[in-house]
Structure 1
Amino acid sequence: MDRFDRRIIAALQQDSAQPIAALADAIGLSTSACHRRIRSLEEAGVIVGYAARINRAALGLSLLVFVEISLNSQALEVLEAFENAVQGFDDILECHLTSGDADYILRVVARDMEDYADIHRNCLARLPHVSSMQTIFTLRPVKTWRGYPIPVAPAV
């Protein structure tokens, strides 16, 4: 990737809905060259999709919760059973295999505590092979994810 590719990626992470002409102008390329580079980045698997960032509070989802999960075994079939089960619950937004005390960390959103209690009972408690679960409620965001850091190569 050269500096133009990096600038394209950085700009698309901030606003993927901007017209290609505006993006091209901002980074100093023709519209057709910018479009070719975007397609190339897509084909190479660098850009894997586009999505809007949604204000979860506007959807009535005021609780952001992280759940640390420890399993009763590290056997391959136990890990696979847990990971397959997680895929079946839309309430689990993300699941990451981790190092440290917990085996997994989940990201979950809920409308309120009553909704989270329902998610806990009908989703989290049904996950297989769980030996312990620790719920961490966020109080407020300090810094939210806005994309990956893209070091821009200096102009030559």
Structure 2
Amino acid sequence: MDAKDRQIIRALQRNGRMTNQDLAATVNLSPSPCLRRLKLLEQSGAIVGYSASIDAAAYGLPVTVFVSITLTGHTEAVVKQFEQEIRRVDQVLECFVMTGTSDYLLRVVVKDLSDYETFVRKRLHPIGGIGSIDSRFVYGVVKKTNVFPVVE
């Protein structure tokens, strides 16, 4: 991937609905080479898809919670069970494997505190193998972007 490919990606991260004509103008290419590069980025898996960026509060899920999970053990069975089950939980938007004191960090969206309690009791607890759950509620956002920094 070269600098021009990264320019294309950054432009699409800012506006995934731009036409190829606009994209080409933004990255200083003619439309045909720009489209060829875009298709190659898609085929290689560098661009994995396109989606709309939605305001969670407007959608009805105004509460974001970062949840640290520590497992009771790290056997293959415990890890596999947790990861398989967490993929099925719609409230979990992202699940990261972590270093440090917790094993996983989840980004969860819910309607309210009562909805979060239901999520923990009905979705997390039944998974099993969870030793601790540490919840941190977001009360404001300073910066949120999906645009990668420039790589030199």
TM-score by length of 1: 0.92
Unaligned runs of 5+ in 2: none
What is the aligned partner in structure 1 of residue 48 from structure 2?
48
- Percent identity of the aligned residues? 39
Q: 1:83 — aligned with what?
A: 83
Partner of 1:107: 107
2:116 corresponds in structure 1 to 116
Q: How much does 1:41 deviate?
A: 0.8
Which residue does 1:30 correspond to in 2? 30
Q: C-alpha deviations, 1:42-93, integer Å up to 9, x for none?
A: 1111111111111111111110001111111011111111101112211111
Query: How many equivalent residue pairs?
Result: 152
TM-superposition CA deviations, 1:79-131 (whole Å, max 9, x none): 11110111221111111110111111111001111111111111112222001
Separation of aligned partners in 1, 2:11 and 2:44: 18
Structure-2 residue corresponding to 1:72: 72
**Equivalents in 1 of 2:136, 2:148: separation in Å?**
24
TM score, norm. by length of structure 2: 0.94
Measured in 2, the distance between the counterparts of 1:84 and 1:3 equals 37
Q: Which ranges of structure 1 fall in alignment gaps of 5 or more residues?
A: none
Does the CA-based 8 Å contact 2:64-2:138 persist in structure 1? yes
AA aligned to 1:98 is: M
Amino acid at match of 2:32: S
Match of 1:69, SS state, is strand
RMSD of aligned alpha carbons: 1.2
Distance 1:90 1:62 in 2: 15
